[in-house]
């Protein structure tokens, strides 16, 4: 998945000549937490977070309190790369650029919404978390058994396990009785970590 699929397009911007008080009013009115700062021609020159604004005196100019060294990505950056950059650089948003022009912004909120989608957080179903062996074909076995039971897989995610010999798999399914699903997964050698209707 790429940044272009999850970014906020045409984000609200402000100029460096605006005051911090004006920027805060815009943030509150638009219900946003990040403001790209542009010059008179619309060229990106900085960025502000709501936190930056709350720490600055209201009569200061945006240009005096903005972050000037803005880290950016392109719309074709992989989402996991954008998330890695944000985590490593300790920033909560990245302006998205195309040929030097600003086309969007990717924020922590965009990534949280993606996380909800990846885990099926907005869908009703049975959520099963398992510790599975790190072996070829394990996921095929899991999904094949769920399909054979007539289950519908709503979400499936894998995470680093306790050590290199295993992985944590979270699967959310519908149309499968929990007792039957648990019994079959245990018969396949999966260690059940958590089961919940969600």
Q: Where are the domains of the chain?
A: 3-114, 124-197
124-197 matches 3-114 in CATH topology? no
Q: What is the CATH number of domain 3-114?
A: 3.10.580.10
The pLDDT, as a whole number, for residue 162 is 87
The pLDDT, as a whole number, for residue 100 is 85
C-alpha gyration radius of the chain: 22
The pLDDT, as a whole number, for residue 10 is 87
The pLDDT, as a whole number, for residue 80 is 95
Could you tell me the two tokens for 135? 């072996």
- End-to-end Cα, the chain, rounded Å: 25
Select the CATH number that applies to the domain covering 124-197 from these four: 3.90.1300.10, 3.30.70.260, 3.30.300.30, 3.10.129.10.
Answer: 3.30.70.260
The stretches in the chain having pLDDT less than 70 are: none
118 close to 145: Cβ distance less than 8 angstroms: no
Give the C-alpha separation, 191 to 129, whole Å. 9
The pLDDT, as a whole number, for residue 20 is 95
């Amino acid at each position: 998945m790429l940044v272009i699929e999850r970014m906020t397009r045409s984000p609200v911007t402000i100029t460096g000549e605006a005051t911090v008080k004006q920027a805060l009013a815009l943030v509150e009115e638009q219900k946003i937490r990040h403001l790209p700062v542009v010059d008179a021609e619309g060229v990106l020159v900085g960025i502000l977070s709501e936190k930056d604004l709350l720490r600055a005196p209201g009569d200061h100019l945006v240009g005096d309190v903005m972050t000037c060294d803005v880290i950016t990505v392109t719309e074709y950056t992989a989402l996991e790369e954008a998330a890695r950059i944000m985590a490593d650089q300790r920033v909560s948003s990245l302006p998205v650029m195309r040929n030097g022009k600003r086309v969007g912004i990717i924020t922590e909120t965009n990534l949280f919404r993606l996380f909800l989608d990846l885990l099926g957080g907005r869908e009703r179903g049975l959520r099963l978390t398992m510790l599975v062996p790190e072996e070829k074909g394990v996921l095929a076995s899991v999904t094949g058994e769920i399909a054979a039971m007539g289950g519908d897989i709503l979400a499936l995610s894998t995470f680093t396990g306790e050590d290199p010999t295993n992985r944590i798999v979270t699967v959310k399914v519908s149309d499968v009785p929990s007792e039957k699903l648990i019994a079959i997964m245990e018969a396949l050698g999966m260690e059940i970590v958590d089961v919940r209707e969600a």
